Chains A and B, each alone.
Chain A
Amino acid sequence: MDLKISNLEVSIEGKKIIHGISLSVAPGEVHAIMGPNGSGKSTFAFAVAGHPQYKVNRGKITLGKKTLTSLAPHERARKGIFLGFQNPVAIPGVAVGNFLRTAKYSSLSGRKPDVMKLQKELIKTSQRLNLGVEFLDRFLNDGFSGGERKKAEMLQLITLAPKFAILDEIDTGLDVDALKIIANGLKNEVKRGMGLVLITHYCRIFNYIKPDCVHILKGGRIFKSGGFSIAQEVEKRGYEKLTL
């Protein structure tokens, strides 16, 4: 079941930002989206997740045979789409563990949850992300360091086990150790069959997780698509000098 975006056109408050993007991601594939600031990368991510302020004027988002384009954000999430936020907002008073349990239960849609098993998994995952058990008692993204925020996104991803994840700069502001931990976590998810779209500015993360396909975004369009070598070219020469 592929995640297919065809000819997507998106505007914010009447201003067109994305001018027709098409992209197809298969389960277990890793796609990278790179591009200069303001090229529409985050807009693309928000639009796929269904943010109400991002209007889809034209085009289609499908997951297998299901069309997602007109679904509410929570319905897309329940179908298996996960958005990793560049700047996740704080939810004071809501503990990470509680939040994840509730989120997981609502995704089970009526099936009885195994409370003990989930708790054990949460603890295991936190430890794998080098977060410590007490992290589950802290309020979601409230007073988190940059690294903790990214790890919290990762903890949610692993717990919710989506079919496809679009991660907006999950690698920004991480030290080498944290980057490695997150990349390894992602690799595991990809191995189980998750399709991944990595939005990034840097090739650093590719040292740990290799993209099958790299897309360069410019002015709201995919300017160039290809293999890993494009990313290397960007790193060497910058976007300006990149040619078709």
Chain B
Amino acid sequence: MPRRWKRGGMKNSLFKAKKGLSKRVVEQISWHKKESSWMRKLRLKALGIFKTKTVPTWGGDLSQIDFDDIYYYLKPAKQEFDSWDKVPREIKRTYEKLGVPQAERGFLSGVKAQWDSEVVYGSILKKLKRKGVIFLSMEEGVLKYPDLVKEYFGKIIPASDNKFAALNGAVWSGGSFIYVPRGVKVDLPLQAYFRINAQKIGQFERTLIIADEGSFVHYLEGCTSPIYTSNSIHAGVVEIIVKRNARVRYTTIQNWSKNVYNLVTKRARVEEEGIMEWVDFNGGSALTMKYPSVYLVGKKARGEVLSLALAGANQHQDTGGKVLHLASETSSRIVSKSVSFKGGRTSFRGLVKIMGDATNCKTSVVCDALILDNLSRSDTYPLISACGDSNKVEHEAFVSKLSKEQLFYLQSRGFSPADSEVMIINGFIEPIAKEIPFEYAIELNRLIKLEMEGAVG
């Protein structure tokens, strides 16, 4: 998918901050976004924390990141448009390549697309507005709903969580702010498209979703990016609050260009009887480190992390999930599937903790890795800690190679070796792919076919 977008890109950026990170750059960002002092202070505080934090060394290799060689903010020439007609032709053309208009014609209920570091196009169905659903860029959220933002921003993932959360806190730009009122069910997925389009521009989107009691929302982000030669960082932060009896599903299908460091912190706090579901596809990037997490704070809350990683040549997908059971009768499920090929590497990290006084909790962790050749590699680092006899813990891990028997069977039915391999892989990922909306699942299949080219020995 990403190859045909190689030629995209917009040259007429309005403002580009200087390379590197400083108090001045952060203040400039805040000024351009017309922020009040409380947000500027949050940013500067995060910058301070960023400076004191070291780059984590327990996962993938981050030693090549040069924080001084990155532009942290770029403001595009055009701002948001409330209807498709008003979007300039140049931008439309790029979105056409991304398939946005088709998708919108198809079933979009609202589009929030990120153009460089700024959200430039957004439309919300009137229906949603009438129901009181707020679906804005994070910047608009800060300006229009400061009290709501203040209450939750950085509360689920504080800047002190990790170096990249701190970085995001300092320079965040774009992302979505969503509030779903009590009892409102949003029946179509809300979507956002992300794209890194200027060389060395990091993407630091910040998303905050608040699902009030008994509500439901499915947020979907399809991330793609053109190919560039120098390194760039994607360090997003996503915070979600699932109130009593509410349910949030967050689906990510992303395929960053192969030089991107994809370092995202995603966390949800789930109250009594609430449900949080992360569905996460990680393709592309040089290194992805991402472990969507769920904090189950209310009785009978439930969390799921379904993740799928694809690692080819020079790629390392270090992914998994994290669940903390902080209340009784909470349940969780982590299902991770990964495919490594052409020397790619996948790592699974699963962390489940059932806290001391939580009882009758259930958790199931399944990790399933498929390795296509002898050059490729997969590791598993599961950690489950539970006290007390009332809790039920299940853990399974499988590592398998492509079966010759399966390949021959499919070939005997007329499939070429390459098609046979793709079919086996599509079957392997089916349990996750079926959770992804249909048109994205098809795109995913095509992407896999493209990535697999020449992978068969």
Contact = CB atoms under 8 A, between A and B. Distances in A.
Interface size class of A (residues with CB under 8 A): 20 to 34
Nearest to A83: B412
Interface stretch (B159-167, B227-235, B389-397, B401-409): B401-409
A74 B412 CA distance: 5
Interface string A96-108: 0001001100110
Contact of A106 (B408, B412, B415): B415
A92 interface: yes
A149 B409 CA distance: 13
Interface of B: 403-406, 408-417, 419-420, 423-424, 426-431
Contacts of A74: 411-417, 420
A49 B410 CA distance: 12
A156 B414 CA distance: 11
B406 to A, nearest CB: 5
Contacts of A92: 427-428, 430
B430 A106 contact: no
Interface of A: 49-53, 72-74, 76-78, 82-83, 85, 88-89, 91-94, 99, 102-103, 106-107, 139, 156, 160
A107 B412 CA distance: 12
B406 A91 contact: yes
Contacts of A156: 413
Contacts of B417: 72, 74
B427 A160 contact: no
A72 B411 contact: yes
B414 A106 contact: yes
- Of B406, B412, B417, B426, the most chain A CB neighbours within 10 A belong to B412
18 contacts: A50-B412, A72-B411, A74-B417, A76-B412, A77-B411, A78-B414, A85-B409, A88-B409, A89-B403, A91-B410, A91-B423, A91-B424, A93-B427, A93-B429, A93-B430, A103-B413, A106-B414, A106-B415
Nearest to A80: B414
A102 B424 CA distance: 13
A89 B423 contact: no
A111 to B, nearest CB: 14
Nearest to A88: B409
B408 A73 contact: yes
A75 to B, nearest CB: 9
B427 A91 contact: yes
Given A91-B427, A92-B427, A106 B419 contact: yes
Nearest to A74: B411
Contacts, number: 71
Contacts of A51: 408
A139 B406 CA distance: 13
B296 to A, nearest CB: 29
Contact of B415 (A76, A83, A103): A103
Contact of B412 (A77, A93, A99, A102): A77
B391 to A, nearest CB: 30
B403, B416, B427, most chain A CB atoms within 10 A = B427
A82 B404 CA distance: 18
A88 to B, nearest CB: 6
A83 B411 CA distance: 10
B370 to A, nearest CB: 11
A25 B294 CA distance: 64
Contact of A91 (B409, B411, B419): B409
A88 B408 CA distance: 10
Given A85-B409, A102-B423, A93 B428 contact: yes
Contacts of B413: 74, 77, 99, 103, 156, 160
A92 B406 CA distance: 10
Contacts of A107: 414
Contacts of A99: 413, 423
Nearest to A46: B408
B423 A94 contact: yes
A73 B427 contact: no
A74 B429 CA distance: 24
Given A85-B412, A103-B413, 16 more contacts: A49-B412, A74-B415, A77-B412, A85-B409, A89-B403, A89-B409, A91-B406, A93-B430, A93-B431, A94-B424, A94-B426, A102-B415, A106-B416, A156-B413, A160-B413, A160-B414
Contacts of B405: 89
B409 A94 contact: no
B444 to A, nearest CB: 13
A139 B431 CA distance: 12
Given A78-B414, A106-B414, A106-B415, A139 B409 contact: no
Contacts of A94: 423-424, 426-427, 430
Nearest to B432: A93
Contacts of A139: 427, 430
A77 B424 CA distance: 18
B173 to A, nearest CB: 39
A147 B262 CA distance: 49
A73 B406 contact: no
- Which are the 4 A-B pairs with shortest beta-carbon distances? A93-B427, A93-B430, A73-B411, A94-B427
Nearest to B418: A74
